[in-house]
Each structure stands twice: as C-alpha cells, then as structure tokens.
Amino acid sequence: MAASSSLQFTATPFNQFHSKQVPKHATKWGTIRCSAASPSKSYNITLLPGDGIGPEVISVAKNALQLVASIEGFEVAFEEMPMGGAALDAVGVPLPAETLNSAKRSDATLLGAIGGYKWDKNEKHLKPETGLLQLREGLQVFANLRPATVLPQLVDASTLKKEVAEGVDLMVVRELTGGIYFGKPRGFSTNENGQEIGFNTEVYAAYEIDRIARIAFETARKRRGKLCSVDKANVLEASMLWRKIVTALASEYPDVELSHMYVDNAAMQLVRNPKQFDTIVTNNIFGDILSDEASMITGSIGMLPSASLGAAGPGLFEPIHGSAPDIAGQDKANPLATMLSAAMLLKYGLGEEKAAQRIEAAVLDALNRGFRTGDIHSAGHKLVGCKEMGEEVLKSIDSKTPAAV
Ligand SMILES: NC(=O)c1ccc[n+]([C@@H]2O[C@H](COP(=O)([O-])OP(=O)(O)OC[C@H]3O[C@@H](n4cnc5c(N)ncnc54)[C@H](O)[C@@H]3O)[C@@H](O)[C@H]2O)c1
C-alpha cells in the first residue's frame, strides 16, 4: 500500500512501559477473542473526555481500544477523569491533582478536547486551556507529533487543488513545553510613554532543542529520511541557537537528509508544494501554527490525531481539534481523529503496533465503504453521525483477519 494511503505514522515508541494486572473489559461490538491462556499484558489508560464533543469521540475510541485489545490478546483498564471545563464545573480547577496523578500513573492518556463558550471569560488560571498546558507540563511531554496524511478517499475534501494535495504524507514534530508559551518574563506593564504593554519571551535552552531534535531525527529515519528544521534564524536569537544545535546533531544521523527553512517560507511552501515535506521539526509557536495549516491540507480537522511524548513516562494522545461547541451533543462529530489518536497511543505509547494497525486499517475500510461524517461528506457517500461512524469502524476491525492488517 502506498505511504499516502496507509496511515503509517512511523516512529519509535519512545516510552518504556510496565505491565499491571487489571480487570478484564468487554465490548458490545464484535466478537471478543479469548485465548486459552490469560492475556500476558495489561495496560492502564487514563481517559479525559473533557468538554463539548470530547465525551462523544472518546466513547467511540474507547470501544475501539477494547476491541483491538481483545483481538490481540492484551487487556486494557480505563480510568475516566475530569479535565478542562468539566473539571472546573465539578471541582473548580481545570486540572485536578487526581486527574494529573491518574495520567502519571497510567501507561498512556487519551484526551478528547477541552474548552467552550461557558468558560471563555474566566480568568486565565481558571480557563480549560490552562489545564491542558498544566497537563502537558506535568507529564513532561515535550514532543508533539502531528501527522498530516491526505487519504486518497478524502483528497477532494482538501481546499488545495487535487494535484497539490494528492499523496501528501508529512509529520510535524513540535516542541511542546518550551519557547514563548512558557518563557519568562511575561506579563503586562507600562512603557516609558505610559502606554500599556503586553510581553512574552521566546527562550530555549540547548538541552530542550537537543532532545526535540533527536526525536525528529529518529522519526524522519523511520519515515522517508528527510528532516526540515523550521526556524526564524535570520531574526531571532533563540532560532539561531536552534539552528546551530540541530545542524550539529546531523552528523549523528548521516542517513537523514537535513534542511532548514524560515517559518514564513515554510508557511508558504506548505500550501504551494506540501509533498516536498517528510518530517518537519520546529518550536512551540511555529509548530502550533504550521501543524494547523498542514491539517487543512488533509481537508478536515476531524481526521487528525496527535501524540505528545516525553523522554520517559506515559504519553498524551489527542485529536488536534478542539471541543467544537457548535456541534457538541448533536452526534455530528467526526470520531476518526480520536480513533487514530488511539492508534498512535497503541503504537507510540504501548508498543502495540499490530493493534494500532488494526484501527488504522479499519478507519480506511470504513471510508472505503463510503461512510462519512458531515465534515468530510461529499455527494455519493453515506452521511453518518459520530456513533454510527464509530460502529462502522468497529465492524471493520472485527471483520479484518490479521493477514489483512
Ligand atoms: N486540544 C484541545 O482540547 C483544544 C484545541 C483547540 C481548541 N480548543 C478549544 O475548543 C473550543 C473551540 O475552539 P475552535 O472552535 O477554535 O476549534 P474546534 O477545533 O473546536 O472547531 C473548529 C471547527 O471545526 C469543527 N470541528 C472540530 N472538530 C471536529 C470534529 N471532530 N468533527 C467535525 N467537525 C469538527 C467545529 O465544528 C468547528 O466548526 C475553544 O474553547 C478552544 O479553546 C481545545
């Protein structure tokens, strides 16, 4: 199968995990395969449904995890915890200590989405988004991997011309816990003319660049061997250091072809000729913007998963979309980004590659059979809601023999 149609989000599982004894779970979909011996492996997964469409898409992804685990002969136990607006309503903070502790104790965490109009006017420390930053910081997940793959089935959903979008298969590796989103000093003040000012600091220590660059080189090595480091080294000192450290590391990865690009050019090239990119590595703020831009090449934000990884300890896996308050509670959400995030959890977080491939193959199969949620729907396809799309993917998981995966 061609790379562009295979959803192969190739990379090394960076985290180490240990097995724990947990209770057995069953699913109402499909047949649960029981091996004669008890499953040798079991994992604890923290689920953070969050707000808006979060609970809808998490419930679908949870069923997929249960089903592939039963087929592949391992066990999963879920601990569902409040996060974001749901946690603010329940206990008054966006990331309760119990939620962070559960995520830290687990083998991996799957997050739906957080946020909504209700909490938009809250003070900063009481915003759902603050909880998300705290979670990433608490788990020390400094590397955010966001694949953007244009599936042949959805090429017409892209806003780019077919010939530009066709075959795009790239990975953005974004630094997640440093840079201007965390740098100090930051705040509000008054300048010498008595005018109000707001200020932030873009700052990177050498070790922060080194560790994200290593993950990016490793990721590129497992893909097509091309790494493009994006910075603004013609203007920013933090970017100058970034470029120096990434360049120095290249000698350790002679099989990876390294290039550099300024962020303004990268933003342009992503819409001009996105196929030129394999793996992109960049800082927190540039990665935030470029990965959203890359996502639109694929046609829908509802299709894109992400993984956030640290040097050790559990990873955080989540769709890149938000809580979509405009469609929340209406069974209109596309659950595929969360299902593919669950696949990334299996692959990168638990090292359960085969189970991950089962979900990826099933997503493609459901699309091949013509099922579409509203965000990716076009004439000639069957319009379904979140639940039905989830059920169709489960049917595909269940009908695939291991050889077909
Ligand atoms: N990681 C996160 O949890 C995260 C990320 C981004 C935004 N947010 C929060 O989400 C809230 C809404 O933000 P926004 O509107 O800018 O972004 P959004 O991603 O929630 O929605 C943008 C548009 O995409 C649509 N959309 C998003 N996900 C979809 C899906 N799975 N299926 C179908 N359509 C989908 C929405 O209906 C909306 O029209 C805000 O409170 C924001 O802070 C959270």
- Of 274, 299, 324, the residue that ends a domain is 299
232 is catalytic: yes
Assess whether 311 and 292 both reside in one domain. Answer: no
Is the pLDDT score of 223 beyond 60?
yes
Computed on alpha carbons and rounded to an integer, the radius of gyration of the chain in Å comes to 21
Residue 199 in domain = no
DSSP 276: G
Is 121 a residue of the active site? Answer: no
| Ligand 1 centroid – CA 12 distance (Å) | 29
pLDDT band at 40; cut points 50, 70, 90: confident
Whether 37 shows a pLDDT value over 70: the answer reads no
Is residue 385 assigned to a domain?
yes
Asked whether the predicted pLDDT for residue 19 surpasses 60, the reply is no
The answer to whether residue 378 is domain-embedded is yes
What is the SS3 assignment for 12-63? CCCCCCCCCCCCCCCCCCCCCCCCCCCCCEEEEEEEEEECCCHHHHHHHHHH
**Residues ≥6 apart with Cβ < 8 Å to 208:** 142, 175, 177, 178
Tens digit of each residue's pLDDT (9 = 90 or more) over 350-379: 999 999 999 999 999 999 999 999 999 989
Q: How many residues does the chain have?
A: 405
What is the pairing mode between strands 315-319 and 305-309?
Answer: antiparallel
> 217 and 237, same structural domain?
yes
What number does the ligand 1 atom closest to the CA of 375 have? Answer: 33
Closest atom, ligand 1, to C-alpha of 326: 37
Cβ 83 under 6 angstroms from ligand 1: no
Confidence (pLDDT) at 39: 65
Amino acid found at 404:
A
Decide: 172 in ligand 1 pocket, CB within 6 A: no
Select the more confidently predicted residue: 36 or 245. 245
**pLDDT tier, 5 (very low <50, low <70, confident <90, very high otherwise):** very low
Report if residue 363 sits inside a domain: yes
Strand pairing category for 196-199 and 187-190: antiparallel
* Residue 196 or residue 6, greater confidence: 196
Catalytic option among 107, 169, 288, 375: 288
Instruction: Give the pLDDT of residue 22.
Output: 31
326 lines ligand 1 (CB under 6 A): yes
- From 281, 280, 141, 135, select the one nearest 210 (Cα to Cα): 281
Last residue of a domain, one of 299, 322, 351: 299
Structure tokens at 65: 């995890």
58 CA distance to ligand 1 middle (Å): 15
Identify the residue whose C-alpha is closest to ligand 1 atom 44: 322
SS3 261: strand
The pLDDT value given to residue 405: 46
| Residue 38 vs residue 272, higher pLDDT | 272
Last residue of a domain, one of 235, 268, 299: 299
- Cα of 119 vs centre of ligand 1, distance in Å, is 14
CB distance 221 to 256 below 8 Å: yes
Supply the pLDDT for residue 300: 77
Tokens of 57: 């898409």
Atom of ligand 1 at shortest distance to CA of 319? 1
The pLDDT, as a whole number, for residue 35 is: 43
d(CA 328, ligand 1 centre) in Å:
10
| pLDDT at residue number 299 | 77
- Once rounded to an integer, what is the mean pLDDT over residues 337-350? 96
Q: In degrees rounded to 5, what are phi and psi of residue 363? A: -60, -45
Mean pLDDT value of segment 381-405: 85
Query: What CATH number has the domain bearing residue 216?
Result: 3.40.50
Does ligand 1 lie within 6 Å of residue 323's CB atom? yes
Residue 195 lies in a domain: no
Stated pTM of the model: 0.84
Q: How far is the CA of 24 from the centre of ligand 1 (A)?
A: 34
Q: Is 302 in the pocket of ligand 1 (CB under 6 A)?
A: yes
Does residue 183 fall inside a structural domain? no
Q: Which residue has the higher pLDDT, 387 or 404?
A: 387
Percent of residues, the chain, with pLDDT higher than 90: 81
Cα–Cα distances in angstroms (integers) from residue 360 to residues 156, 220, 246, 303, 315, in the given order: 20, 20, 32, 12, 19
User: Model confidence over 249-282: pLDDT tens digits?
Assistant: 999 999 999 999 999 999 999 999 999 999 999 9
> Do 170 and 294 have their domain in common?
yes
**pLDDT value at 212 more than 60:** yes
**CATH code of residue 98:** 3.40.718.10
Q: How many A from CA of 278 to the centre of ligand 1? A: 26
Please tell me whether residues 69 and 136 are part of one structural domain. Answer: yes
Co-location of 168 and 277 in the same domain? yes
> Given the structure tokens 């927190």, which residue do they identify?
284
Asked if 300 and 333 count as a contact pair (C-beta separation under 8 A), the reply is no
pLDDT of residue 172: 96
Atom of ligand 1 nearest to the CA of 333: 32
141, 169: one domain:
no
Catalytic residue from among 292, 331, 395, 400:
292
Lowest mean pLDDT, pick from 81-95, 146-160, 372-386: 146-160
**pLDDT at residue 16, as a whole number:** 30
Is the CB–ligand 1 distance for residue 324 below 6 Å?
A: yes
Cα 57 to averaged position of ligand 1 atoms, centre (Å) = 12
Q: 400 pLDDT exceeds 80? A: no
* 372, 381 Cβ separation under 8 angstroms: yes
Residues 6 or more apart whose CB falls under 8 angstroms from that of 65 comprise 45, 76, 110, 342, 345, 346
Mean pLDDT over each residue of the chain, to the nearest integer: 90
What's 216's DSSP letter? H
264 is catalytic: yes
pLDDT value, residue 122: 97
289, 301, 330, best to mutate for ligand 1 pocket (most atoms within 8 Å of CB) = 301
Are both 43 and 134 inside the same structural domain?
yes
pLDDT for 401? 52
- Cβ atoms of residues 300 and 340 within 8 Å: no
Q: CA distances (Å), 336 to each of 110, 112, 223, 310, in order?
A: 14, 12, 22, 25
Q: Are residues 214 and 311 in the same domain?
A: no
348 and 393 belong to one structural domain: yes
Hey, which bits of 298-399 come out as E strands? 305-309, 315-319, 371-372, 382-383
Strands 382-383 and 196-199: unpaired
Which structural domain, as residue segments, surrounds residue 231? Answer: 155-175+205-299
Q: Ligand 1 atom closest to Cα of 120?
A: 41
Within a domain: residue 26? no
pLDDT at 378: 87
Regarding whether 171 and 295 lie in a shared domain, the answer is yes
- The answer to whether position 63 is within a domain reads yes
3-state class (DSSP) for residue 174: strand
Could you say which DSSP state residue 203 is in?
A: -
Same domain, 63 and 134: yes
The answer to whether the CB of 245 is under 6 A from ligand 1 is: no
1-15, 302-316, 387-401, range with the lowest pLDDT: 1-15
Q: How many domains does the chain have?
A: 2
Q: For 81-139, what is the HEC assignment?
A: CCCCHHHHHHHCCCCCHHHHHHHHHCCEEEEEECCCHHHCCCCHHHCHHHHHHHHHHHC
Whether 162 and 257 share a structural domain: yes
What is the pLDDT at residue 12?
A: 39
pLDDT score, position 1: 32
Peptide bond into 314 cis (omega under 30): no
